[in-house]
Amino acid sequence: MLRTILLVMPIAAVFVYAVYYMLFAWTLPGDVDMHSSGYIAMTIGVVVSFALAAVLIALLLHRNKDED
Per-residue confidence in pLDDT tens, the chain, 68 aa: 888 889 899 999 999 999 999 988 888 877 778 899 999 999 999 999 999 999 999 998 887 776 65
> What is the per-residue pLDDT for 13?
95
Interior CA angle at 53 toward 49 and 29, to 5°?
Answer: 35
> What is the per-residue pLDDT for 67?
63
> What is the per-residue pLDDT for 42?
93
> What is the per-residue pLDDT for 34?
85
